[in-house]
Amino acid sequence: MKKSIASNIEWKKWGEKDPLMGVATRSGKSRFDPRPWTDEEFYELGRSDWNDFHERWKRYGIDHTTCLEIGCGTGRITRELGRCFDTVYALDVSKGMIEYAKKKIQGSTVRFMVGDGLHISLQDASVTAVFSTHVFQHFDSLSHGTRYFEEISRVLSSEGTMMIHLPVHQWPAMPGLFERIYRLRKSTGGARAWIKRRLILAGISHHYMRGLSYPVGYLFDILAQQRFMDIELLLFRTSKENAVHPFVFARRE
């Protein structure tokens, strides 16, 4: 199995076992807990979060013609995107999550696609906007993020914009040393991920999520290489849960 798509294992299993918890992980909200997510509160959280996200995106600049959502999951945000854009392409690696979303989202504006974690099955310059939240943070490595940025650059039309949620970091002192420590920690985590994924494939477990943070310098460099401009980082709190969300905005040349 290719390393760049190894994380598909856990997301496919989340889609089978507990799709709402896999998308919005909260203590006590698993389907096995006394008070699991209900569809009503789950999609209400998506509505509230999207209102906060959309307001920031409008300030940056957005064309509401065609949107690609990377990692749509069970459609927590997709439902709202379908109300704001003429056409939405909702992409996810988990067939189980997409099947759940299809049952909850009606209308002709949303088109669901099952992806492989490497490619986006859309033509060049075919969308005016790209959105993603709580997805890039679960990739195995920066190379996986790089691959998606390449694909985003390919499918975005000229002047099209993206709004991507992802954790970022920048070491205040001795950046070289701390970056090496961080990479060592990620390498150790790779061994743990391999074990966890073997357990998932054996049917013993499915509760696993891996975390990834993006160096600020890397982010600006890779986006510039992919012909993005007006690159901005923005952190803000959401209204409903008061949680801090970091997003990167960029515009295709």
Confidence of residue 207 (pLDDT cuts 50, 70, 90): low
Confidence of residue 4 (pLDDT cuts 50, 70, 90): very low
Q: List pLDDT tens digits, range 69-93.
A: 999 999 999 999 999 999 999 999 9
For residues 236 and 52, the answer to whether their CB atoms sit within 8 Å is yes
Q: List pLDDT tens digits, range 52-64.
A: 999 999 999 999 9
Angle subtended by helix axes 8-17 and 175-201, to nearest 10: 50
Round to whole Å and give the CA distance between 249 and 239. 20
Residues whose CB is less than 8 angstroms from the CB of residue 234 and which lie 6 or more positions away in sequence, other chains included: 56, 246, 247, 248, 249
pLDDT for 164 beyond 90: yes
What is the CATH architecture of 3-168+206-252? 3-Layer(aba) Sandwich (3.40)
Round to whole Å and give the CA distance between 166 and 70. 12
Which sequence spans correspond to the domains of the chain? 3-168+206-252
For residues 140 and 212, the answer to whether their CB atoms sit within 8 Å is yes
pLDDT for 193 beyond 70: no
Closest CA to 194 of 50, 1, 37: 1
Specify the higher pLDDT residue, 42 or 173: 42
> What pTM, to 2 d.p., does this model score?
0.86
Residue 148: CB atoms within 10 Å:
22
